[in-house]
Amino acid sequence: MSVSTAEFVVNKVENSRINEVDLANVQFGKNYSDHMLVAYYEDGAWKQPEIMPYNNLSLSPATTFMHYGQAIFEGIKAYKDPNGNPLIFRPYDNWKRMNRSAHRMAMPDVPMEIFVEGIKTLVQLDRDWIPTGEDTSLYIRPFMFAVDEFIGVRPAEKFMFIIITSPAGPYYNKPVSIFVQDQYVRAFPGGIGYTKAAGNYGMSMYPTMKIKEKGYDQILWTDGFEHKYVQEIGTMNVFFVIGDKVITPDINQDTILAGVTRDSVITLLQEKGVVVEERNISINEIQDAHHAGMLKEAFGTGTAASIAPIYALTYHDDKMELPPLEKWDVANWLKKELSDIRYGRKEDTHNWIVRP
């Protein structure tokens, strides 16, 4: 069946695959919903996007992104409110960030009408794929990559933008153990650390594999010059509660991804009257605070994981264990507050919720 709406051509599946998925026990990133959006950019313009059944792509082996990595992505979640109606969390912020990444990677801007309206249309179409359990959601993955068939190195001229969606359970289901990395580097001023470019993740696989072999879950990266100031974790921004202050690395050096969850957390804390400091924070300051008994909480924030408590932070031979989770006022409050807003259980006073 082919229906042309204002912006999209919609080809619906003949038969939904939804019965193949156990939505009550869904994991993260294993299943993909019935439909996807595909848009081509060519001759300086986006063509009419098409929503079609989720399917494999067919690409030339000379497709440029496979060789030179002009590829970027985003991550957003949709939830169901208590009445079963879908809501999407802050998609306009992801749209803006997608275009900051696109700009740095010499890729075209994705118009709001394709990015946000595309997400809304897909969520509406595949709304039955949104699980309803606590900590579950429909994870939305927009991405763009260069598709010139040309193996010379030059900025590409043709691009593909795709959105797929995936019913998702919790990303981490227990507190994480973090290794403070001061040998390998994630980002440098002038580099691409502030973008969601594929290369930022490709380069992290080897160091991550190495620390996983030693039993850690994730890396906390330090700065590229002195290997001293903490930056962020894999796919999460990082917060420390020291005494009664909350401290998070500032994002002004273009080395850290400006998380939408990070921004939401800072906003909620400040509204509650908590002091949040966005500044450089060295690993030595964290060690000193821990040894003085002042390091109360440490957690990562991201769309995939929401709030991920850290139970241990290891720097060289200093394994800093955090107090038991029951005593954490800040992270536990934030997790509940954020969930209540995302699942539509609490009034959205910030215009964060978008309904498809």
> Which spans of this chain sit near ligand PLP (rule: CB under 6 A)?
75, 196, 232, 235-237, 257, 259-262, 301-303
In the complex with ligand PLP, the residue whose CB is nearer, 41 or 194, is 194
Alpha-carbon distance values, 284 to 30, 223, 234, 281, 310 (Å) = 39, 13, 21, 8, 18
Q: Read off φ and ψ for residue 63, nearest 5 degrees.
A: -60, 125
Residues pairing with 72 in the sheet: 144, 197
Least distance between ligand PLP and beta carbon 136 (Å): 17
In the complex with ligand PLP, the residue whose CB is nearer, 234 or 344, is 234
Q: Read off φ and ψ for residue 190, nearest 5 degrees.
A: 90, -10
Rounded CA-CA distance 179/217 in Å is: 8
Least distance between ligand PLP and beta carbon 237 (Å): 5
In the complex with ligand PLP, the residue whose CB is nearer, 63 or 222, is 222
In the complex with ligand PLP, the residue whose CB is nearer, 159 or 221, is 221
Least distance between ligand PLP and beta carbon 224 (Å): 15
Least distance between ligand PLP and beta carbon 278 (Å): 15
Cα 353 → chain centroid: 17
Is residue 26 within 8 A of residue 168, CB to CB? The reply is yes
In the complex with ligand PLP, the residue whose CB is nearer, 51 or 251, is 251
Is residue 169 within 8 A of residue 135, CB to CB? The reply is yes
In the complex with ligand PLP, the residue whose CB is nearer, 52 or 266, is 266
Rounded CA-CA distance 336/63 in Å is: 44
Least distance between ligand PLP and beta carbon 233 (Å): 7
Rounded CA-CA distance 152/159 in Å is: 16
Least distance between ligand PLP and beta carbon 171 (Å): 10
Is residue 105 within 8 A of residue 72, CB to CB? The reply is yes
In the complex with ligand PLP, the residue whose CB is nearer, 37 or 260, is 260
Residues 6+ apart with CB under 8 A from 19: none
**Beta strands of the chain (E only): which ranges?**
2-4, 9-11, 35-42, 45-46, 50-53, 71-73, 76-80, 86-89, 137-146, 159-168, 176-181, 218-222, 230-233, 237-242, 245-248, 275-278, 295-302, 306-315, 318-321, 353-354
In the complex with ligand PLP, the residue whose CB is nearer, 159 or 171, is 171
Residues 6+ apart with CB under 8 A from 196: 72, 73, 74, 75, 97, 98, 101, 257
In the complex with ligand PLP, the residue whose CB is nearer, 108 or 302, is 302
Least distance between ligand PLP and beta carbon 218 (Å): 11
In the complex with ligand PLP, the residue whose CB is nearer, 60 or 252, is 252
Least distance between ligand PLP and beta carbon 265 (Å): 9
Least distance between ligand PLP and beta carbon 214 (Å): 22
Longest dimension (CA), the chain: 66
Least distance between ligand PLP and beta carbon 256 (Å): 7
Q: Read off φ and ψ for residue 254, nearest 5 degrees.
A: 65, 20
The SS3 assignment for 100 reads helix
